[in-house]
Amino acid sequence: MKKEYIHSVLAFLIIPLLMRPHILAAGDSLLSTFCEDNFENYVLNIPFENNLKLLLESLSSSTWATGFNNTFVGEGRDRVYGQALCRGDVNSTVCRICIENASKEILKQCKREDAIIWFDLCQVHYSFQNFFSLMVYAGKYPNNNHVSYRNAE
């Protein structure tokens, strides 16, 4: 009887771990990407791109603890500002994975100096401009793979 109990407990603990990747993949879908048209493409292999990659790595490694982070990397004209946000109902592991996936995808989809990507469970935004202390939100909201604009009043 004791052996059966141990097997039941082990099955109870192992089955959710095996199912976990499927759960993460299902809830981690891309909603929308916004690559700012008003700004130029950044040049590959320059300090801005290198700082952007460092920034995105930093966001994915530090956002999971609180579900929010804003930081910057670099100096002067090569400085890149970034922000990551996870939905409040996701745990730290799911948050970290979502930010990692969003960071990889935004590098693939956007070569602009300012971009935002929305996943179902998180959001990543980077820019060459310091947007941390802005009191006016630019009004970008994902809507059926298009971005709608709302003017700040």
Whether the pLDDT of residue 12 is over 70: the answer is: no
CA distances from 24 to 34, 58, 126 (A): 24, 21, 24
Q: Give pTM, 2 decimals.
A: 0.69
Q: Residue 36 pLDDT more than 80? A: no
> Residue 94: enclosing H or E segment and its boundaries?
helix 92-109
As a whole number, mean pLDDT of residues 22-45 equals 67
Contacts (Cβ under 8 Å, ≥6 apart) of 123: 83, 84, 85, 102, 116, 117
Mean pLDDT of the chain, nearest integer: 76
* First and final C-alpha spacing in the chain: 69
Class level of CATH domain 30-149:
alpha beta
pLDDT at 98 over 90: yes
| Ordered strands of the 68-73 beta sheet | 30-35, 114-119, 122-127, 80-86, 68-73
